């Protein structure tokens, strides 16, 4: 039971509350005790000064009478008065019937101070008494004692009330604390049940916070996002699996067909060489597709982190356009570039950015017919570097436009052109891992424009 978090939190809160309550009680108790003692001392001091005045003005005989009168007024069971001679001998006392066990002498009789106080326990009573020794002149000393029964009863009542209230608050506070802890942790229990549900393969139901704490709401939000991400990845994995099964089957089928055709009858050495060449070509194509898929998967999953170095987009775009300038010339295309002379620095991986820009430019050149136009523009806008690839090729249909970044997807215009349908998927993965975005605008027979934006 003590491993349950709600129980442990309740015990911890209860312990902290108990310690705090005990500290507060101790402070209040000591403060009340000090106030009561101060009140008694003030009363004793007032009586002592009054008796000193009687001695000085009326003499010793009147003092003796006053001692008995004061004792009678206060009550002989609650107060007593005694007078000591200069030789410290007891010469007069009030009625001490109720003060059985009261000592006659005290070391304070020899104290030279004019007034001094003492608290004593005396045999025959569980109570304490507060004593005052008052020098009244000529060496005579008056001793006055008040029983502290009423004050100590008040303190005892206070302690009893506190104990009862403390027990009540402890029980009710523990119960309420347990309910609040259970309520606060209800979101965690929901997350646990959802994790069990996901482990059984059910990703269809999100978690609802139901008005919990901000921390629980954040946890639920993160868990729901994770669940959506897992569901998306599973859907993508299913699509990729289907596409891989289709796209990898074709070259394998071709290789098998070539081999089967060659083995059906006697073939010349040249025909075997042609078979070997075709198999190598198809194998290279398969290896290229597999490597590209692995690179896309590693980039999406963040397995290959960015190097984090500063790279100059101006230099990268220059290199890519210089590399493909001869291809544009061979295809009789108008190839236009607009690249600034100053640096445009971004944080990222140079080789991956080169791969992304090369794929985009290769697509633009590949799908633009002879005599067409291809343009590459690099510019800066509001803290972003924009790399724009324009062509006036066949364009992309409205139905195909939302799927251009899907793996293995190839539109109607590209089915007659060599390719695997992975290039734009790789480009998007590379751009996103650099914290950028890629957008496409296209329409049939009007060409296409791909715009890559990267934070400077």
Residue 85 placed within a domain: yes
DSSP state string for 110-151: G--SSEEEEEEE-TT-SSEEEEEEEEEETTEEEEEEEE-HHH
Q: Are residues 23 and 143 in the same domain?
A: yes
CA–CA distance, 355 with 316 (Å, rounded to integer) = 10
pLDDT (tens digit, 9 = 90+) per residue, 264-297?
767 777 777 777 787 787 777 777 667 766 666 6
Q: Return the exposure string of 121-149: e unless at least 16 CB atoms fall within 10 Å of the residue's CB, then b.
A: eeeeeeeebbbbbbbbeeebbbbbbbbbe
Q: Are residues 149 and 10 in the same domain?
A: yes
Q: Give CA separation, 331 vs 369, 390, 391, in Å.
A: 8, 16, 14
Domain coverage including residue 433: 309-455
Q: What is the pLDDT of residue 269?
A: 74
Segments of the chain with pLDDT less than 50: 2, 414-416
Q: Are residues 339 and 451 in the same domain?
A: yes
CATH number for the domain that contains residue 411:
3.30.565.10
Query: Which of 250, 273, 301 represents a domain boundary (last residue)?
Result: 301
- Bridge-based pairing of strands 140-147 and 334-338 is unpaired
Q: What is the pLDDT of residue 240?
A: 62
Q: What is the pLDDT of residue 244?
A: 63
pLDDT (tens digit, 9 = 90+) per residue, 93-118?
998 888 877 888 888 888 888 888 88
Q: What is the pLDDT of residue 309?
A: 84
Q: Are residues 346 and 385 in the same domain?
A: yes
Query: Is the overall model pTM greater than 0.75, yes or no?
Result: no
Q: Give Cα 210 to chain centroid, integer Å.
A: 20
The answer to whether residues 452 and 438 touch, using CB atoms and an 8 Å cutoff, is yes
- Bridge-based pairing of strands 128-137 and 115-121 is antiparallel
Closest CA to 443 of 419, 417, 420, 411: 411
DSSP state string for 349-370: -HHHHHHHHHHHHHHHHHHSPT
Residue 161 placed within a domain: no
455 Cβ contact partners less than 8 Å away, ≥ 6 residues apart? 346, 383, 384, 385, 435, 436
Q: What is the pLDDT of residue 416?
A: 47
Q: Which helix (H) or strand (E) holds 384?
A: strand 384-391
Q: Are residues 340 and 287 in the same domain?
A: no
Q: Are residues 273 and 329 in the same domain?
A: no
353 Cβ contact partners less than 8 Å away, ≥ 6 residues apart? 311, 313, 316, 346, 430, 434
Q: Return the exposure string of 27-49: e unless at least 16 CB atoms fall within 10 Å of the residue's CB, then b.
A: eeeeeeeeebeeebeebbeebbe
pLDDT (tens digit, 9 = 90+) per residue, 49-62?
999 999 899 998 99
Count, residues in the chain: 456
DSSP state string for 270-322: HHHHHHHHHHHHHHHHHHHHHHHHHHHHHHHHTSS----EEEEHHHHHHHHHH
Residue 173 placed within a domain: no
Q: Are residues 293 and 313 in the same domain?
A: no
CA–CA distance, 383 with 305 (Å, rounded to integer) = 23
Q: What is the pLDDT of residue 417?
A: 53
Q: Are residues 281 and 351 in the same domain?
A: no
CATH number for the domain that contains residue 9:
3.30.450
Residue 185 placed within a domain: no
Closest CA to 440 of 421, 456, 427, 455: 427
Q: What is the pLDDT of residue 216?
A: 67
pLDDT (tens digit, 9 = 90+) per residue, 128-159?
888 999 999 888 999 999 888 787 778 778 88
Beta bridge pairs of residue 253? none
Q: Are residues 389 and 332 in the same domain?
A: yes
Query: Which of 154, 186, 205 represents a domain boundary (last residue)?
Result: 154
Q: Are residues 288 and 402 in the same domain?
A: no
When divided into structural domains, the chain yields a total of 3
Query: Which of 277, 301, 325 represents a domain boundary (last residue)?
Result: 301
130 Cβ contact partners less than 8 Å away, ≥ 6 residues apart? 37, 40, 41, 44, 117, 118, 119, 145, 146, 148
CA–CA distance, 235 with 330 (Å, rounded to integer) = 42
């Amino acid at each position: 039971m003590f491993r349950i978090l709600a129980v442990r939190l309740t015990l911890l809160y209860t312990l902290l509350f108990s310690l705090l309550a005990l500290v507060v009680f101790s402070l209040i108790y000591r403060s009340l005790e000090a106030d009561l003692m101060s009140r008694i001392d003030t009363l004793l001091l007032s009586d002592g000064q009054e008796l000193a005045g009687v001695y000085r003005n009326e003499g010793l005989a009147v003092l003796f009478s006053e001692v008995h009168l004061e004792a009678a007024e206060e009550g002989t069971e609650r107060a007593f008065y005694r007078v000591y001679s200069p030789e410290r001998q007891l010469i007069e006392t009030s009625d001490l019937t109720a003060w059985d066990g009261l000592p006659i002498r005290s070391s304070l009789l020899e104290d030279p101070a004019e007034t001094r106080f003492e608290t004593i326990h005396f045999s025959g009573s569980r109570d304490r008494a507060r004593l005052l020794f008052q020098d009244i002149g000529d060496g005579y000393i008056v001793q006055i004692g008040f029983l502290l029964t009423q004050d100590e009863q008040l303190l005892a009542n206070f302690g009893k009330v506190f104990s009862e209230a403390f027990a009540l608050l402890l029980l009710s506070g523990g119960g309420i604390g347990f309910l609040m802890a259970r309520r606060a942790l209800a979101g965690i229990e929901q997350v646990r049940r959802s994790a069990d549900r996901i482990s059984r393969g059910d990703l269809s139901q999100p978690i609802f916070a139901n008005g919990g704490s901000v921390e629980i709401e954040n946890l639920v939000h993160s868990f729901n996002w994770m669940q959506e991400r897992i569901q998306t990845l599973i859907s993508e994995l299913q699509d990729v699996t289907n596409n891989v099964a289709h796209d990898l089957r074709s070259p394998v089928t071709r290789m098998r067909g070539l081999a089967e055709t060659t083995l059906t009858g006697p073939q010349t050495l040249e025909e075997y060489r042609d078979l070997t060449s075709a198999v190598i070509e198809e194998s290279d194509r398969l290896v290229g597709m597999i490597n590209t898929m692995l690179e896309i998967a590693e980039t999406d999953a963040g397995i290959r982190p960015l190097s984090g170095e500063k790279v100059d987009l101006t230099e990268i775009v220059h290199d890519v356009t210089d590399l493909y300038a001869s291809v544009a010339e061979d295809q009789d295309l108008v190839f236009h570039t607009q690249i600034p002379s100053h640096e445009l620095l971004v944080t990222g991986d140079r080789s991956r950015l080169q791969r992304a820009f090369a794929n985009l430019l290769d697509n633009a050149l590949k799908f633009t017919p002879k005599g067409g136009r291809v343009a590459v523009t690099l510019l800066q806008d509001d803290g972003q570097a924009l790399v724009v690839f324009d062509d006036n090729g066949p364009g992309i249909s409205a139905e195909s436009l939302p799927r251009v970044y899907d793996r293995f997807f190839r539109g109607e215009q590209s089915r007659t052109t060599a390719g695997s349908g992975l290039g734009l998927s790789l480009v998007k993965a590379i751009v996103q891992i650099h914290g950028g975005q890629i957008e496409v605008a296209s329409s049939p027979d009007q060409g296409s424009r791909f715009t890559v934006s990267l934070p400077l």
